[in-house]
Amino acid sequence: MKKTILLVFAVLAGQSLCGQNNEYDYYLKNDVVQQGFLFGLNSEPELFYFPPEGSADLFTRMSTYNFSAVRYARRGYDYFGDGAVLNGIDLSDELDGYPDYSLLSGLRRAKLPSIRLVGTDVADMGNSVLGETEEFVADATSFAPGHTVSVYGTNRRQRFGLKVSSAGTWARHWSYAVSGIRRWGRDATVQGVFTDETALSLMVSRSLGLNHRLTFYALGTANERGMRSSATREAFDLTGDIYYNPSWGYFDGEVRNSRVSKEFQPLFLASYNGKVRDKTELEVSAAYRFGKSGYSSLAWYDAQTPYPDYYRNMPSYADNPTAATLITELWERRDPVATQVNWTELCRMNAMSSDGSAYILEDRMEDIRRFQIVATARTRFDRRTEAVYGLRFKTSRTRFYKEMKDLLSGAPVSDIDCYLIDDEMFGDKLANDVRHPDRRIDVGDRFGYDYRMRSDRYEAFASLRYTDRRFRFAASVNASQSTLRRQGYYEKELFPGNRSFGNSKRLSFETYAVKVAAGYSFSPIHNINLSLQSGRTAPEYGNLFLSPNYTNETIAEPKTVGQTAADLDYVLTLNPMKCKIALFYARTTDATEVYRYYDDLFSVYSDMMLSDISKRYYGLEAALQYDLSSRLSLSAIASWGRYTYDSDPTVSIVEDASGEIRVTNAKSYLKGYRCSTSPGRAVSAELEYNAYGWIASLTYSYMADRYVSATPLRRMERAYNLAASPEGFTEFVSQERLEDASVVDLFLLRSFSVGRSRMTLLFSVNNLLNRKFIYGGYEQMRIMRRGSGTSQQWTPFDSKYLYGYGRSYYVSVSCKF
């Protein structure tokens, strides 16, 4: 009978599979910036409706989901301010420093228990991040036995999903927890956005006697997702569609997206956990992750850009009134020939070309091989004092390359640098790899660039905790030594010899983090805690190389990034109320960032290096939970913060092709500008009713003090001195503030028994009132010149934005038996 029910679920869900291609269906640094930008936009309700078990921090639980309608990072730290750990395995990417979104997503969907540590909380592993650290535990014995089948439907990023999970014991001493998830479908609001994902999580634990356990865990997620691209206000206004997505177009009447990400990078983990001495437990974990991820992009050879919203295609650029009117009409009536990628024409042009495709679809790939081993010991000296200490080794090999995805009805192309074709100086140095010249690139071939980043990291950590009735003390220290090196497999004609081929200089960093925390309970009602942190972290690899895709060239003086932080919080527990107020402060120093962009003043592709970047984050967080009755409770959180640049970074600009230093020791006057990572003010209040198998909640969230991400270029004298008037100057230097945003969310859950099974029905609506607001935005690194001679004028390019989702729903039916 159970099997029949499950099969019916699966078949009914499967019926919805095909037909998703119907065009009448509702039809996602700068790439690194875009990916981080979209991190929050990709968040999905089911990840957050069941808060990680064990998380006692109300602010954490509410803020992560309730503020995800806009670009949000707790305390303003960018996405690389967060960390994640699985059985001691540090899940942060060694190159970027931040945890992989899809890996985290997979772990949360598999419902692995986790706790979240905030800011300066002392973690056993001595983590050094400023933001949140999510610590997952893979232990099959911690899953409640039983089987669950869930089916869900939504209109956001996909349409349907099916999840099957099972946990229990099997034979003697074996426990298991497995789950499989399948989700698919096109976004109902944003055309071109879709999800096609299969995830499997397999966990097995074996008890070895009373105090020892072995756990094996495998998590694999294969996904393909159509992405959304940001656009200018002009494009949104002309189309009348705040969800306008320039990345897609029609191919033979079908919606096809130029920006599609795909990934399959499974993780395998083995953990031993056991009591090795009377008071000491040992955990040894080893993990291996491998696989590929990539995202597609259009490229073109000596041809006009295929992107419809290129600035020269917009009516604002047309200085001919007739042309401007004509273009405006096309956009206003949303003629896809003007507003979307014209795949059909691209393919026809390619088919007519005698020299290979002019337009191609390429995949920018990352092929990872990562191994990590960590040994952690926990010694309980007495019931008040314990120490945790350990060693970790991480090694990572990441291969970056381009792969031909589709020739779009054309013939193979030569492996040449498409950016140099018309270059007056370097137009004769086009070969991407002189060691394999004159290659014709067909579908599946590598081309463009091919290099590997190798990094190794040795780490030691220790923490000590003392807890008695009133007083708590904890301290941790983490020290590591990491190395990084690029190895080029292509010898680029523009950068011959070791400039592109072979090994780069070996970069080495010594980092550390020291945390100290103390707390005092005046009574069971009043508690205060103070935490302090200081340390240095390694920079991201993208900020260490001028142009890592093509050269071994590193920045002049690579430095570690300094971090200091302090937290002071007060907790009041007075039934029926619990309240926490926290003051926080953090400062980062000596950071470096590298931007690759087209410099309109020099009219060349350039690399801009910013050094001595400091940022400051301070503010207040408050959380309140009040039980109005045994069934009704009120929860509220609020944050106020200022997240700003705290220095005027030093700027150097290097011409990308020649390596000529065009600007040195200039300044970008960024001090005081807001970091755009998070609203400065945010409030959320939730009223929840919980009784008799019903949970109903209504949440109101308000987010304000939001800013567009400022570009360093416009705060340089060479840029703002171009302004012809005070108004023009303001246009260059002012930082746009985004409108305040507010959402109302509704959540309903009904759980009841059917025989020996438990059914749960869930229904939620986000942004119930369908409010429209910008999710986030960024300034472009471009400056436009209009006119010539004495009538020449320079103005910054328009910023680009993404709008937050309007009303979206999520419905699920679960059966646990």
Other CB atoms within 10 A of residue 32 CB: 14
Task: Report d(CA 494, CA 154) in Å as an integer.
Answer: 50
What is the distance of C-alpha 432 from the center of its chain?
A: 30
Q: How far is the CB of 802 from other proteins (least distance, A)?
A: 21
Contacts 24+ apart (CB under 8 A), 717-725: 717/666, 717/667, 718/601, 718/663, 718/666, 719/601, 719/783, 719/796, 722/601, 722/783, 722/794, 723/794, 724/793, 724/794
Name the residue nearer to other proteins (CB basis): 251 or 797: 251
**CB-CB contact of 597 with 651 (8 Å):** no
Candidate ranges 313-321, 458-466, 646-654, 674-682; the one touching other proteins (CB under 8 A): 313-321
From candidates 4, 320, 725, 791, binder to other proteins by CB under 8 A: 320
Task: Report d(CA 153, CA 809) in Å as an integer.
Answer: 8
**CB-CB contact of 701 with 684 (8 Å):** yes
Name the residue nearer to other proteins (CB basis): 25 or 740: 25
Candidate ranges 93-101, 322-330, 546-554, 724-732; the one touching other proteins (CB under 8 A): 322-330
Helix (H), strand (E) counts: the chain: 11, 41
Task: Report d(CA 27, CA 49) in Å as an integer.
Answer: 27
Name the residue nearer to other proteins (CB basis): 310 or 381: 310
Name the residue nearer to other proteins (CB basis): 186 or 370: 186
Q: How far is the CB of 363 from other proteins (least distance, A)?
A: 12
Q: How far is the CB of 93 from other proteins (least distance, A)?
A: 26
Name the residue nearer to other proteins (CB basis): 175 or 504: 175
Using the 8-state DSSP alphabet, how is residue 92 labeled? B
* Site residues (CB under 8 A) for other proteins, limited to 153-212: 162, 164, 166, 168, 170, 176, 178, 180-182, 184-186, 194, 196, 198, 200
Name the residue nearer to other proteins (CB basis): 14 or 576: 14
**CB-CB contact of 666 with 650 (8 Å):** yes
Name the residue nearer to other proteins (CB basis): 685 or 759: 759
Name the residue nearer to other proteins (CB basis): 200 or 579: 200
**CB-CB contact of 817 with 756 (8 Å):** yes
Q: How far is the CB of 218 from other proteins (least distance, A)?
A: 13
Name the residue nearer to other proteins (CB basis): 166 or 751: 166
Structure tokens that stand for 659 in this block: 């390596």
Alpha helices for 45-203 (secondary structure H): 45-48, 58-66, 101-109
Candidate ranges 41-49, 320-328, 686-694, 699-707; the one touching other proteins (CB under 8 A): 320-328
Listed in sequence order, the residues at least 6 apart from 730 whose beta carbon sits closer than 8 Å to its beta carbon are none
* Site residues (CB under 8 A) for other proteins, limited to 422-481: none
Q: How far is the CB of 180 from other proteins (least distance, A)?
A: 4
Q: How far is the CB of 292 from other proteins (least distance, A)?
A: 17
Name the residue nearer to other proteins (CB basis): 237 or 468: 237
What is the distance of C-alpha 156 from the center of its chain?
A: 18
From candidates 1, 18, 277, 469, binder to other proteins by CB under 8 A: 18
Q: How far is the CB of 815 from other proteins (least distance, A)?
A: 12
Q: How far is the CB of 409 from other proteins (least distance, A)?
A: 5
* Site residues (CB under 8 A) for other proteins, limited to 128-147: 147
Q: How many residues does the chain have?
A: 817
From candidates 1, 3, 382, 469, binder to other proteins by CB under 8 A: 3
Other CB atoms within 10 A of residue 564 CB: 16
Name the residue nearer to other proteins (CB basis): 10 or 460: 10
From candidates 322, 523, 629, 791, binder to other proteins by CB under 8 A: 322
Name the residue nearer to other proteins (CB basis): 256 or 800: 256
Q: How far is the CB of 443 from other proteins (least distance, A)?
A: 11
Select from 343, 342, 25 the least CA-distant residue to 194.
Answer: 25
Task: Report d(CA 498, CA 315) in Å as an integer.
Answer: 46
Task: Report d(CA 373, CA 287) in Å as an integer.
Answer: 6
Q: Are strands 174-186 and 194-207 parallel, antiparallel or unpaired?
A: antiparallel
Q: How far is the CB of 264 from other proteins (least distance, A)?
A: 13
Q: What is the DSSP string of 656-712?
A: TTT--EEEEEEE---TTPBPTTS-SEEEEEEEEEEETTEEEEEEEEEEE-EEPBPPG
List the x/- string, 243-282, binding to other proteins by CB under 8 A.
--------xx---xx--x----------------------
Contacts 24+ apart (CB under 8 A), 731-734: 731/795, 731/796, 732/796, 733/669
What is the distance of C-alpha 258 from the center of its chain?
A: 20
* Site residues (CB under 8 A) for other proteins, limited to 20-49: 20-21
378: β partners: 281, 388
Is there binding between residue 414 and other proteins (CB under 8 A)? Answer: no
Name the residue nearer to other proteins (CB basis): 213 or 225: 225
CA atoms within a 13 Å half-sphere pointing along the CA-CB vector of 126 = 29
From candidates 214, 270, 303, 698, binder to other proteins by CB under 8 A: 303
List the x/- string, 327-366, binding to other proteins by CB under 8 A.
x--x------xx----xxx-xxx-xxxx---x--x-----
* Site residues (CB under 8 A) for other proteins, limited to 221-240: 224, 226
3-state SS, 37-88, equals: HHHHHCCCHHHHCCCCCCCCCHHHHHHHHHCCCCCCCHHHCCHHHCEEEECC
305: β partners: none
Total of chain residues touching other proteins, rule CB under 8 A: 65
Name the residue nearer to other proteins (CB basis): 186 or 394: 186
List the x/- string, 391-410, binding to other proteins by CB under 8 A.
---------------x-xx-
Q: How far is the CB of 460 from other proteins (least distance, A)?
A: 40
Note the residues at the interface with other proteins (CB under 8 A).
3, 6-7, 10, 13-14, 17-21, 147, 149, 162, 164, 166, 168, 170, 176, 178, 180-182, 184-186, 194, 196, 198, 200, 224, 226, 251-252, 256-257, 260, 302-304, 313, 318, 320, 322-323, 326-327, 330, 337-338, 343-345, 347-349, 351-354, 358, 361, 406, 408-409
